[in-house]
Amino acid sequence: MIEMKVAGIALDAATRSPIVLLRDAGDRRQLPIYIGQDQARAIIGALENQTPPRPLTHDLIVNILEDWDMTLERVVIHSLQDNTFYAVLTVRQGETKKEIDARPSDAIAIALRTKSSIWVVEEVVADASIPVDREADEAERQAFRDFLANLRPEDFSQRGQSKSGES
């Protein structure tokens, strides 16, 4: 799994639909997830540390977690099926841990309010992310090609030996 952070909210140029942008720690990959207007407002509110006069839905969920001594350990976006992302909230209460199905947008809004981590399964990142730094990606690919081109059979036998010279 890859830990991601919320990079911000964008609008699709054609549809004007909000998109939450998740970015990996290395700022190399970005995962765009289309969300609803209400979830966009909830995520922006959390990013800007806004406190509404009365609890909104995501604030209510955080209040319930706190009042019942539950901790949101992390959010996991685990699959992408038919252009729909799926996520779970991993919640702990004492020794009991549960995974609760959630829309990624709601899970992200709650994670931001609880300062919990957001994780995405590698396959989802591979299938749906876009490169942020194409030049760095190409440089990494070229370095790997150079490494492979310079490999010799002796390199494998040397790596298999222990420090005492035994294999």
pLDDT mean by block of 10 residues, the chain; 167 residues: 94 92 91 95 94 93 96 97 96 96 97 97 92 66 70 63 50
Number of residues assigned to the chain: 167
Q: What is the pLDDT of residue 155?
A: 66
Cα–chain center distance at 10: 17
Q: What is the pLDDT of residue 131?
A: 85
Q: What is the pLDDT of residue 167?
A: 47
The candidate with the shortest Cα–Cα distance to 109, out of 40, 10, 23, 37, is: 40
The candidate with the shortest Cα–Cα distance to 77, out of 163, 165, 1, 155, is: 1
Q: Do 55 and 91 contact (CB within 8 A), yes or no? A: no
Structure token pair of residue 69: 């001594």
CA atoms within 13 A on the CB side of 160: 6
In the chain, where are the structural domains located? 2-150
Q: What is the pLDDT of residue 58?
A: 95
Q: Do 80 and 128 contact (CB within 8 A), yes or no? A: yes
Q: What is the pLDDT of residue 26?
A: 85
In CATH terms, 2-150 corresponds, of 3.30.420.40, 3.10.690.10, 3.40.630.30, 1.10.10.60, to: 3.10.690.10
Look-up of token digits 């760095």: 136
d(CA 162, CA 146): 26
Q: What is the pLDDT of residue 137?
A: 58
Q: What angle do CA 119, 74, 114 make, to 5 degrees?
A: 120
Instruction: Give the helix ranges, DSSP H, for the chain.
Output: 37-47, 57-67, 104-114, 122-128, 134-149, 153-159
